[in-house]
């Protein structure tokens, strides 16, 4: 009887498994969680400077603070010791700034706040990267704006004219409120802050982040311009136009 028994055993082992049945190795594999494939991180495309662009060279330029010659007379609307006419500090180059702000449709307090942060009203202010004058214009920027003789950037009337022109371009690109009559609430808007940031860090950096760029210098710049704007608004109320 041994041979028939062995044949029966072999027949059973060779028989196909019923539907749904699994081998030991298949059962082992089914208990192991499939490997997880992590999605690739979403990375925004880097903004790349176009060398053929008319603004190439300053779209991504973060300008450092201006430097001053020894003995330069600096102004601050926050200093009680500022030179005064009556009780109100005398704002240097006020009438030049007023004329350009009116001609180009830019709020006067904003123009004065930019001048304050850029140069503290020192017409000979200069920076290590080559920015010049009251509104710290780069020669390449000034040429793009239409100034042929960039040696005139130390002339207050010329510097303010082209600085206001550049500020107007930035405001029109990024801000959503009209540039001619800005309130403190308008200046607190993200888009307004982007326009101010672009004056310091370049249009390219602001476009890249779609916000105030995360640079300490630029964020401090926006904060100080906002502070100066409020101070100049008050000074202009105390010293109305003639």
Query: Catalytic residue numbers?
Result: 118
Contacts of 36 (CB under 8 A, 6+ apart): none
Q: Give the list of residues 6+ apart from residue 144 with CB closer than 8 angstroms, or none.
A: 54, 55
Q: Which two tokens stand for residue 136?
A: 């710290």
Which residues, 6+ apart, have CB-to-CB distance to 196 below 8 Å?
Answer: 114, 170, 187, 221, 222, 225, 226
Q: Name the token pair of 146.
A: 């239409």
The span from the CA of 57 to the CA of 54, in Å, is 9
Q: How far is CA 207 from the centre of its chain?
A: 8
DSSP state of 163: H
């Amino acid at each position: 009887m041994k041979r028939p028994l062995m044949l029966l055993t072999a027949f059973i082992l060779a028989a196909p498994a019923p539907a749904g049945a699994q081998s030991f190795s298949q059962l082992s594999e089914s208990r192991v969680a499939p490997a997880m494939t992590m999605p690739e991180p979403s990375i925004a495309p880097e903004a790349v400077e176009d060398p053929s662009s008319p603004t190439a060279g300053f779209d991504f330029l973060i300008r450092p603070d201006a430097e001053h010659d020894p003995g330069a007379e600096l102004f601050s609307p926050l200093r009680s010791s500022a030179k005064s006419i009556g009780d109100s500090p005398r704002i240097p180059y006020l009438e030049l700034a007023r004329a350009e702000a009116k001609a180009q449709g830019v709020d006067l307090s904003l123009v004065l706040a930019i001048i304050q942060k850029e140069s503290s009203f020192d017409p000979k202010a200069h920076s290590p990267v080559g920015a010049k004058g009251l509104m710290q214009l780069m020669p390449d920027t000034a040429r793009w704006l239409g100034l042929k003789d960039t040696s005139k950037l130390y002339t207050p009337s010329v510097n303010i004219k082209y600085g206001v022109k550049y500020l107007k371009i930035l405001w029109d690109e990024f801000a959503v409120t009209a540039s001619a009559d800005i309130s403190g609430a308008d200046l607190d808007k993200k888009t307004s802050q982007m326009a101010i940031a672009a004056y310091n860090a370049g249009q390219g950096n602001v476009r890249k982040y779609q916000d105030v760029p995360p640079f300490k210098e630029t964020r401090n710049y926006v904060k100080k311009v906002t502070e100066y704007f409020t101070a100049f608004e008050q000074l202009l109320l105390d010293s109305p136009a003639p």
